């Protein structure tokens, strides 16, 4: 790298001077110590400020300045995949082939970018580049919060259904997090793109396996974070569950992962009153009213981890609707639940509950669709999906959080369902109809 810069500046022969002074690529980046009244200007090694090089007279001030500035051309960083944080010099180039902004919000910009494979360690790919997601934060507080959350998540043992970031970096006053690109989009995208796929036992078993994996991830978030206290996801919805196929085994259908932990709440004690909860909704931008549990607006009590259990129950119900029927049925179900009044920002939610005067009840459309699905052979009561519907109705979509099971209890029940589905083809998916 050092020779390339000297070659660019048309002084390649001076590489010998630098080598004789003990300087190599490892000493980059150099800094320039300006001369004092008695002279003494020198280049300082990036490894040790005590290691200096006095440029020859023929360099002159402008050549020295060019050397210091142009050295960054060959110093694009190499990112690891363990979540490390880098502070980059403003002139440091990024190893990106291209980057397209695809989503803008008040707090973030999401880029779909191609990064040179040689600048990400530990990749097992043959292609010269890989696609990544780069999230830019408009506010440092949001960046610090998400970095902290992701760092804690790395200590969760063995949860492959939690999306992890590659690295984070700051450059000047801009902050970024690099993550794997979900080539399959979100769970909603999966439902739409695969809507024409034949409904058969392979798809049913994969779906059940993924649901079990997501619940295991939720359990890990709730119970297994060492030193960070407990966590609730707070904003579970199909759009925050991503579908990955890159890196999976040949013939594998891919994997679903929970992602975006910018508004996850890691907490030791959550003694929030109603005012604090409403403020949290405002400051975090939690905009998933359709999947919010009823206590989000109907209770002064602090949110518990049972909040996530409600949300996952709503998502799983839609998953079953899609499996047994199709995407149009999922949309029709959402339209049937739509409120008659808009929330803040003009959002018209499709809650899974309904407020009747001073009472809050499970939305009648929820009970209606569960009954409808129960009359279909593939989701009848004596099937795996039928059992899942029973769990959703009796243990997940319950108005009182105390009536919901926790993530561990849901794990236990789903493990039984999946185990039986793997050994009993008819229980899994009755293809006779």
User: What's the pLDDT tens digit per position in 307-330?
Assistant: 999 999 999 999 999 999 999 999
Give the tens place of pLDDT for each residue, 58-85.
998 899 999 999 999 999 999 988 889 9
Give the tens place of pLDDT for each residue, 137-150.
999 999 998 898 88
Stretch 87-94: mean pLDDT: 93
Answer yes or no: are the C-beta atoms of 301 and 295 closer than 8 Å.
Answer: yes
Alpha carbons within 13 A on the beta-carbon side of 6: 17
Q: Of the ranges 240-244, 335-339, 372-376, which one carries the lowest mean pLDDT score? A: 335-339
Structure confidence at residue 34 (pLDDT)? 83
Tell me: pLDDT of 275 over 60. no
Write down the domain spans for the chain.
2-74, 84-180, 187-340+348-428
Instruction: Establish whether the linkage from the previous residue to 29 is cis, with ω within 30° of 0.
Output: yes
Q: Of the ranges 53-57, 152-156, 416-420, which one carries the lowest mean pLDDT score? A: 152-156
Tell me: pLDDT of 21 over 70. yes
State the angle between helix axes of 384-391 and 364-374 in degrees (0 to 180), rounded to the nearest 10: 160
Structure confidence at residue 268 (pLDDT)? 34
Three-point CA angle 389, 203, 200, nearest 5°: 90
User: Is the pLDDT higher at 220 or at 210?
Assistant: 210
Dist CA 78 CA 237 (whole Å): 34
Tell me: pLDDT of 358 over 80. no
CA-CA distances (angstroms) from residue 96 to 38, 90, 176, 179?
44, 15, 14, 14
Q: Where are the beta strands (DSSP E) in 118-229?
A: 129-137, 167-171, 174-180
Tell me: pLDDT of 44 over 60. yes
- First-residue to last-residue Cα distance in the chain: 67
The percent of residues in the chain predicted with pLDDT above 70, rounded, is 85
Structure confidence at residue 87 (pLDDT)? 94
> Given pLDDT bands bounded at 50, 70 and 90, which one contains residue 265?
very low
Stretch 283-298: mean pLDDT: 66
Stretch 236-260: mean pLDDT: 85
Task: Return left, alpha or beta for 258; rule: phi > 0 is left, psi -120 to 50 is alpha, else beta.
Answer: beta
Tell me: pLDDT of 286 over 50. no
Stretch 242-268: mean pLDDT: 71
Q: What are phi and psi of 414, to 5 degrees?
A: -70, -35
Which is it for strands 167-171 and 84-88: parallel, antiparallel or unpaired? Answer: parallel
Structure confidence at residue 156 (pLDDT)? 76
Dist CA 117 CA 273 (whole Å): 48
CATH topology of domain 187-340+348-428: Transferase(Phosphotransferase); domain 1 (1.10.510)
Mean pLDDT of the chain: 85
Let me know if the fold of 84-180 is the same as that of 187-340+348-428.
no
Give the tens place of pLDDT for each residue, 149-159.
888 888 777 67
Tell me: pLDDT of 274 over 80. no
> Given pLDDT bands bounded at 50, 70 and 90, which one contains residue 252?
confident
Nearest to 361, CA basis, from 399, 333, 316, 307:
399
User: Is the pLDDT higher at 257 or at 274?
Assistant: 257
Give the global pTM.
0.81
C-alpha R_g of the chain: 27
Stretch 223-235: mean pLDDT: 57
Residue 251, judged by CB atoms within 10 A of its CB (0-12, 13-18, 19+), counts as exposed
Structure confidence at residue 126 (pLDDT)? 73
Structure confidence at residue 137 (pLDDT)? 96
DSSP state of 128: S
Class of domain 84-180: alpha beta
Tell me: pLDDT of 191 over 80. yes
Answer yes or no: are the C-beta atoms of 199 and 273 closer than 8 Å.
Answer: no
Structure confidence at residue 295 (pLDDT)? 86
> Given pLDDT bands bounded at 50, 70 and 90, which one contains residue 9?
very high
> Given pLDDT bands bounded at 50, 70 and 90, which one contains residue 301?
low
Structure confidence at residue 127 (pLDDT)? 83
The percent of residues in the chain predicted with pLDDT above 90, rounded, is 59
Structure confidence at residue 159 (pLDDT)? 75
User: Is the pLDDT higher at 252 or at 388?
Assistant: 388
* Alpha-carbon 324 to chain mean position: 28
> Given pLDDT bands bounded at 50, 70 and 90, which one contains residue 303?
low
């Amino acid at each position: 790298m050092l020779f390339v810069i000297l070659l660019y500046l048309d002084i390649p022969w001076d590489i010998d001077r630098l080598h004789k002074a003990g300087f190599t690529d490892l000493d980059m980046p150099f800094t320039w110590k300006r001369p004092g009244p008695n002279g003494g200007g020198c280049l300082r090694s990036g490894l040790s400020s005590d290691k200096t090089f006095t440029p020859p007279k023929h360099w002159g001030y402008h050549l020295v300045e060019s050397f210091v500035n142009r050295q960054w051309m060959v110093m694009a960083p190499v990112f690891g995949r363990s979540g490390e944080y880098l502070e980059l010099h403003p002139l440091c180039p990024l190893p990106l082939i291209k980057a397209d902004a695809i989503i803008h919000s008040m707090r973030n910009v999401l880029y779909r970018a191609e990064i040179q494979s040689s600048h990400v360690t530990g990749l097992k790919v043959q292609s010269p580049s890989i696609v990544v997601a780069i999230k830019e934060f408009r506010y440092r507080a949001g960046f610090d919060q998400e970095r902290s959350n992701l760092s804690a998540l790395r200590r969760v043992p063995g949860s492959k259904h939690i999306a992890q970031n590659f690295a984070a970096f700051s450059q000047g006053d801009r902050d970024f997090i690099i993550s794997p690109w979900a080539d399959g989009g979100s769970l909603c995208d999966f439902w739409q793109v695969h809507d024409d796929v034949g409904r058969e036992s392979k798809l049913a078993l994969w779906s059940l396996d993924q649901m079990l994996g997501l619940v295991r991830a939720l359990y890990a978030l709730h119970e297994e974070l060492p030193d960070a206290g407990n966590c609730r996801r707070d904003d579970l919805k199909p759009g925050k569950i991503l579908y990955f196929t890159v890196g999976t085994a040949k013939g594998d259908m891919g994997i679903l992962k929970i992602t975006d932990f910018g508004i996850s709440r890691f907490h030791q004690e959550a003694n929030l009153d109603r005012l604090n909860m409403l403020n949290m909704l405002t400051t975090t931008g939690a905009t998933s009213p359709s999947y919010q549990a009823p206590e989000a607006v109907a209770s002064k009590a602090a949110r518990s981890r049972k909040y996530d259990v409600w949300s996952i129950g709503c998502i799983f119900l839609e998953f079953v609707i899609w499996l047994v029927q199709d995407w149009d049925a999922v949309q029709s179900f959402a339209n049937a639940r739509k409120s008659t009044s808009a929330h803040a920002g003009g959002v018209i939610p499709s809650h899974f509950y309904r407020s009747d005067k001073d009472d809050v009840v499970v939305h009648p459309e929820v009970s209606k669709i569960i009954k409808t699905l129960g009359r279909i052979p593939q989701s009848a009561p004596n099937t795996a999906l039928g059992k899942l519907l029973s769990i959703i109705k009796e243990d997940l979509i319950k108005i009182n959080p105390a009536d919901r099971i926790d993530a561990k209890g849901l794990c236990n029940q789903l493990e039984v369902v999946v185990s039986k589905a793997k050994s009993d083809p008819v229980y899994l998916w009755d293809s006779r109809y």
